[in-house]
A and B are shown apart, each in its own frame.
Chain A
């Protein structure tokens, strides 16, 4: 069974540019989460999808971030326009159940904004 996959693994862009990160969860997992880890610090929650619906987007930092999960399968996280402080590793995770059970993480997408 394929795990959670994320693309790209690394992206380097300049301030003001746009980047779109993609996450393919484990097949059948309705719950999909986005997190960001900056400079080896905390794993900061960004948002949670249940199927195609945003269950909780309270962690999204501002309106430069847009997450979608059309059709309830893969998800994208777009940052537009990117700022220096957006740099970090963006992790996607999926789970079968809501609020319980194992979260399966992808390898992460490292974003560097210059």
Chain B
């Protein structure tokens, strides 16, 4: 499986602020997936990106896959308290990054 590195480890924002987490690989990825785990819960699939330069949106969430297919990002616009949790990326071989824990202050 291909290892993916994820930053930052933690992010604390005020409600309404934006949030971005980044996922990087030293090798080209055939695809990348994003998951969200709420506190006390289990990881839940958000999206899979496959194409170079791909951008997908889900309401306030924007997912990007780099042109070289070595990095990806998840951006949340105007965070809400319901966005709290840890966001993980996963590369081929279903290896997960370390995750970015998001906390949101009301």
Task: Write the residues of chain A forming the contact surface with B, with a CB cutoff of 8 angstroms.
Answer: 33, 35, 40-45, 48, 56, 58, 91, 93, 95, 99-108
Contacts and interface: CB of A to CB of B under 8 A. Distances in A.
16 contacts: A40-B86, A40-B101, A43-B99, A44-B96, A56-B1, A99-B30, A99-B92, A99-B94, A100-B31, A100-B48, A100-B50, A103-B35, A103-B45, A103-B94, A105-B42, A107-B41
The size bracket of the interface on B is 20 to 34
Contact of A91 (B33, B42, B93, B99): B42
Given A41-B98, A99-B30, 4 more contacts: A42-B99, A45-B96, A102-B33, A103-B45
A9 B90 CA distance: 25
B42 A42 contact: no
Contacts of A43: 37, 43, 88, 96, 99
A102 B45 contact: yes
A101 B48 contact: yes
Contacts of A106: 42
Contacts of A44: 96
B95 interface: yes
Interface of B: 1, 30-31, 33, 35, 37, 41-45, 48, 50, 86, 88, 90, 92-99, 101
Nearest to A42: B98
Nearest to B42: A105
A102 to B, nearest CB: 4
A104 B92 CA distance: 15
B86 A33 contact: no
Given A56-B1, A99-B30, A100-B48, A33 B94 contact: yes
A110 to B, nearest CB: 10
A48 B42 contact: no
A35 B48 contact: no
A70 B30 CA distance: 31
A102 B48 contact: yes
A69 to B, nearest CB: 16
A33 B101 CA distance: 23
